[in-house]
């Protein structure tokens, strides 16, 4: 479980960082200049002017990174151990929902296939919740 978490963290960081940097670079230079001209320090300028202006892009990067982590199958299959049991520690093998669908859909039928489709629905609901939280975070007054 620990290895899979580290692999996913390393895999999603470039996505999150690239989108967050694009959002920060998209903030007009006048925001920074105006804040500094009013006597704010560089930290205050970043915290009170630039980050709020880039907030939606940073959150979008986090949502895309989370979506990639939730949907990642092959890297997790290779390092997680694929044990069909509840892990007892962080170092125990584990099987994720996406891995379970990928490994078992080829030979599933009947109730087993229905259970795998239900697993897919759980993943879809998790994605919808993440998107809903992102919308609430980006536009809190609506």
* Helices and strands (DSSP H and E) totals, the chain: 7, 0
Is residue 14 very low, low, confident or very high in pLDDT (cuts 50, 70, 90)? very high
The tokens for 95 are 């099987």
Structural domain spans, the chain: 2-138
**Residues above pLDDT 70, as percent of the chain:** 98
pLDDT tens-digit map of 87-131: 888 888 888 888 888 888 889 899 999 999 999 999 899 888 888
Torsion, Cα of 124, 126, 131, 133 (10° steps): 160
**What pLDDT does residue 133 have?**
82
pTM (predicted TM-score): 0.73
Cβ–Cβ < 8 Å for 60, 19: yes
Q: What percent of the chain has pLDDT over 90?
A: 42
CATH of segment(s) 2-138: 1.10.3720.10
């Amino acid at each position: 479980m620990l290895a899979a978490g580290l692999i996913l963290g390393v895999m999603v960081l470039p996505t999150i960082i690239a989108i967050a940097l694009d959002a920060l670079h998209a903030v007009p230079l006048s925001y920074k200049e105006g804040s500094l001209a009013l006597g704010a320090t560089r930290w205050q300028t970043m915290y009170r002017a630039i980050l709020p202006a880039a907030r939606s892009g940073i959150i979008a990067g986090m949502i895309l990174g989370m979506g990639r982590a939730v949907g990642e199958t092959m890297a997790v299959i290779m390092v997680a151990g694929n044990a069909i049991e509840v892990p007892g520690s962080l170092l125990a093998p584990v099987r994720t929902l996406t891995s379970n669908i990928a490994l078992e859909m080829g030979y599933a039928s009947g109730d087993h296939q229905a259970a795998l489709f239900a697993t897919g629905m759980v993943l879809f609901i998790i994605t919808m919740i993440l998107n809903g939280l992102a919308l609430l975070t980006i536009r809190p007054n609506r």
